[in-house]
Amino acid sequence: MPALDLSLSSAELTRIICDTPSESGEEKLLADAIFAEISALDHLEVYRDGDTIVARTNLGRAQRVVIAGHIDTVPINRNVPTKDVEIEGQPFIWGRGTVDMKAGVAVQLKLAAELIAPRVDITWMWYDHEEVDADLNGLTRLARTRPDLFAGDFAILGEPSNGEVEGGCNGNLRAIVRTHGVRAHSARAWIGENAIHKAAPVLDRLAEYAPRDVAVEGLVYREGLNAVRIGGGVAGNVIPDLCEVEVNYRFAPSRDAVEAEAHVREVFSGFEVDVVDVAAGARPGLDAPLAQEFLAAVGAEPRPKYGWTDVARFSALGVPAVNYGPGDPHLAHHDEERVPVAQIEAVEQGLRAWLATS
């Protein structure tokens, strides 16, 4: 088990955490290391559910902030161990997880150890299985077993945001649009009906679709509707009787899941549409008093989050939430994942300044 010395710098912790492989489903080694260090801290009440670890202060403060980060990564692809690189004179840490989102977790662990008497009570959450299906997500499991742990006045998710504050998030929907035909020998194609050919209007509608830019509480969210997979065919000499086009709809948090599904069905009217996954987005919630204090403390200009993140879980519970972490989200899951050391330090300083002072 790797040793996590929480007196090290956030950058040094980032290297250790990233060099501890924890692909989704293989988080136990890292979770064990985190649990060993955090459970030794007298000022925190610690709870573990599988490979999700929750640590809470109980100081009787008037307000509570939840700060969360996932400990898993997408699969490694020759990008561990980490290495130090320099780009345009600036030091970076390169490797899987540096952006998404172990640098953010490193900052959180260091602050959890050092902020013995913060200005608000804090619930720290480090959870597993974020990069896979939602039903496996550690927060999904925790919400079933200990929903009380989500209670708070404001939440911060350490997703990469270039050290800026990204409010709320877009919703995410996946659907299968199907076309049907009749099988026949390809030498006598007129006997059958080609389901792949029938999918051409589906692709036409996608190509002609004009996505919206939607203002929600002062932030402009960009939507998108795209084909992400297409499948069909039986054999090289058979006219196919089925074609499936998987589409992904990213929708602004002004729409709920029901409205998003209705929109997709309207776009593909006349076709069989099967919605296979949908997750509502999260409104920014930046008008909450704690959110305003946080923005002022870190000196950030809020931006929208285009991707779906677990801030939506907190928003659904009535807890306003933002994304705030080091790393360029464009490099999340990229084989050249890398995070500027200066960004790690800046996020740590921002959180420390807000949480440690009144």
Report how far residue 95's alpha carbon sits from residue 77's, in angstroms, rounded to the nearest whole number: 9
Instruction: Reduce the DSSP state of residue 111 to 3 states and report it.
Output: helix
Catalytic residue ranges: 72, 130
Q: Residue type at 171? A: G
Instruction: Note the Cα 252 to chain centre separation in Å.
Output: 16
CA–CA distance, 334 with 41 (Å, rounded to integer)? 35
Distance between CA atoms of residues 224 and 255, nearest Å: 13
SS (H, E, C) 51-86: CEEEEECCCCCCCEEEEEEECCECCCCCCCCCEEEE
Place of tokens 């004009």: 210
Q: What are phi and psi of 278, to 5 degrees?
A: -150, 135
Neighbours of 92 (CB within 10 A): 20
- For 8, the token pair is 């090290």
Q: How far apart are CA 268 and CA 305, in angstroms?
A: 27
CB 80 within 8 A of CB 66: no
